[in-house]
Every structure is written in structure tokens, then in C-alpha cells.
């Protein structure tokens, strides 16, 4: 089941499978979100829960016991219940079950809300610990935007402009885990010029991120702004030659190569106490060329 929400400037479609955003259009019907072409990647905007990235041997350790948990967790392959479907907003819910407890031994409730207002889509995920002990968790957004964006600007003119200077080194995955060695940031003067060769060795991982928003697009052309006030990490990824770029705000990231401890000690993981709720949010604002600043 898909739910469509809209405003005069925007239309969004969300699937109950994974509570995943599957279409984002402006008032002219132009698509800003990747279409899931299986020749490259079938995802569109999966939600990453209760882990981001991969854990060592695809297992987490909790109080001395190991649990199989696939890359990015299980929310993206789970069927959510539709809790609300209004003209401009909707909400989906996933609760822990016998199946999830076999992979992640914590009772939880995950509510994901979508709302459109003007040309902005907001996505808020509320994770609640419904158990009686503390619960470690990570969460991430994984939207794939068109590269190039609509309106005809060339692919090579696209860039990502950061809110702050990003001078700290970045990390790279290797075998799905975060390499111990860092490498110099490719961001210069707050700008990352997008090129396929940046991604020949997988994603860019910003684990010392200063910015909490980025602008993506071609100067003078269409662009979009992604705000993520609650997310301290960022991944940027594509497959070379593909027609998308993923801008991924995260709380947490894949296991570092040298990490082999309990999940509660994993870098980037947050701990929720019983009945505690933690919210994670992003806002995506589309800007056709006529809305660009001069």
C-alpha cells in the first residue's frame, strides 16, 4: 500500500513496505527522487534501523550473545502499519515482534511521520524503547536524489555545498566496515564537486561532521536543501555512472575495522532508557531555478 501526500508545490508518495519514500515531485510533475532502476540500485529512500551500515560478520553482540543482523538492519524490509493518512501528512508504525527479537533483542516501537508544507518535505522517525532495560540503537536516512536534477543542468555541474567548513578527514568503508585510516576531505571551501571517481572505493563517510544542512544541485540551476538538525554523521554515495546521489544523514555508522565489542559500546550508538523516545528528522526542500538566490 502506498500513501500520497501533497501541497500546492510538492507531491510525495510513501510505501508501507519499509515506510519508504518512493516518489518526490514538484508542482510541474518533475521527479527529484531516484526511480529504483534495478540496473544500478533498487532502493529509493530506505530507512536504516536499528543499525547503520554493516556490523562485523553481520552480527551484533549483546550481553555476551550474538545476533544476526544484516546491513542497515531490518526496517527497510519490514511491513509498517499505516497509522495516519491525511492530505498533507501520514504516519507509519513498526513494532518489535518475535522475528525482530531474534535479530535485535530489544522491544521497540518505530513511528515514521511524513509531512509536506509548501516545497518542503519533513520526515521524522521516533524510536521508543518499550522494554524494561536500556536499548542501544542507531538510525539513518538514505534518500537517493536524481543526478542530474530536473531542469536540464549538466551532470558534471552538480555539487554539494555544506553549511560549515568541513576540514576534518573522512572515512571510507572497506568490506562494509569503516577503515581505520582516514583520508583528506574532498570538500574545499564548503563545496564537494561531484565526480564518479569519488565513489570508486565506496561511500564518503563524515564522522566528524560540523554541518547540519547541505545544498545539492548546479549553481544557477535546480537545487534542493537537506536539513538534518539531529544527525551528527553523513554518508554520500552512488555507484559510478548511476543517475543518483545519496545524501544520508546518520546517527551512527558501520563498525570500525578494529571494533569487536558489545553493541552498546559501538561508536555512534545512542542508549535509550525504558519508555524513552528519541527523534531523528530531515527536511528536504526543492528549489526550481527561479527560486535560486542570485
All cell numbers assigned to 120: 518542503
Per-residue model confidence as pLDDT tens digits over 219-249 = 989 999 999 999 999 999 999 999 999 999 9
pLDDT at 292: 55
Q: One digit per residue, pLDDT tens: the chain, 294 residues?
A: 899 999 999 999 999 999 999 999 999 999 999 999 999 999 999 999 999 999 999 999 999 999 999 999 999 999 999 999 999 999 999 999 999 999 999 999 999 999 999 999 999 999 999 999 999 999 999 999 999 999 999 999 999 999 999 999 999 999 999 999 999 999 999 999 999 999 999 999 999 999 999 999 999 899 999 999 999 999 999 999 999 999 999 999 999 999 999 999 999 999 999 999 999 999 999 998 865 554
Q: Is the pTM of this model over 0.85?
A: yes
Per-residue model confidence as pLDDT tens digits over 117-148 = 999 999 999 999 999 999 999 999 999 999 99
Please give the C-alpha separations between residue 207 and each of 41, 148, 233, 267, in angstroms, as whole numbers.
Answer: 25, 26, 5, 10
Measured distance CA(287)–CA(121) in Å, rounded: 12
CA dihedral sign of residues 229, 281, 51, 194: negative
- What is the secondary structure of 206-253 as a DSSP string? ESS---SEEEEEETTS-EEEEE-TT--EEEEE--TT-SEEEEEEEES-
Helix or strand (DSSP H, E) at 213: strand 213-218
Domain 2-291 CATH class label: mainly beta
Amino acid at each position: 500500500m502506498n500513501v500520497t501526500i501533497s501541497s500546492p508545490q510538492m507531491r510525495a508518495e510513501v510505501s508501507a513496505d519499509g515506510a519508504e519514500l518512493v516518489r518526490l515531485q514538484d508542482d510541474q510533475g518533475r521527479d527529484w527522487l531516484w526511480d529504483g532502476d534495478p540496473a544500478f540500485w533498487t532502493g529509493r529512500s530506505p530507512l536504516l534501523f536499528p543499525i547503520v551500515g554493516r556490523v562485523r560478520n553481520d552480527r551484533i553482540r549483546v550481553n555476551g550473545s550474538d545476533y544476526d543482523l544484516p546491513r542497515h538492519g531490518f526496517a527497510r524490509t519490514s511491513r509498517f502499519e499505516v497509522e495516519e493518512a491525511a492530505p498533507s501528512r501520514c504516519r507509519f508504525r513498526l513494532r518489535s515482534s518475535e522475528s525482530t527479537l531474534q535479530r535485535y533483542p530489544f522491544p521497540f516501537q518505530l513511528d515514521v511521520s511524513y509531512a509536506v508544507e509548501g516545497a518542503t518535505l519533513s520526515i521524522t522517525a521516533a524510536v521508543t524503547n518499550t522494554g524494561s532495560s536500556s536499548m542501544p540503537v542507531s538510525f539513518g536516512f538514505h534518500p537517493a536524489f536524481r543526478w542530474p536534477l530536473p531542469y536540464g543542468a549538466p551532470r558534471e555541474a552538480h555539487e554539494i555545498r555544506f553549511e560549515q567548513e568541513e576540514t576534518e578527514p573522512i572515512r571510507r568503508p572497506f568490506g562494509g566496515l569503516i577503515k581505520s585510516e582516514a583520508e583528506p576531505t574532498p570538500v574545499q571551501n564548503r563545496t564537494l564537486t561531484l565526480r564518479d571517481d569519488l565513489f570508486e572505493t565506496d561511500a564518503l563517510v563524515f564522522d566528524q561532521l560540523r554541518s547540519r544542512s547541505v545544498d545539492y544541485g548546479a549553481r544557477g540551476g535546480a537545487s534542493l536543501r537537506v536539513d538534518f538538525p539531529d544527525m551528527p554523521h553523513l554518508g554520500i554515495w552512488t555507484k559510478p555512472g548511476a543517475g543518483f546521489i545519496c545524501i544520508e544523514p546518520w546517527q551512527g555508522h558501520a563498525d570500525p575495522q578494529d571494533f569487536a565489542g558489545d553493541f552498546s559500546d559501538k561508536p555512534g550508538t545512542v542508549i535509550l532508557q525504558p519508555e524513552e523516545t528519541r527523534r531523528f528528522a530531515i527536511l528536504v526542500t526543492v528549489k526550481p531555478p527561479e527560486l535560486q538566490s542570485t
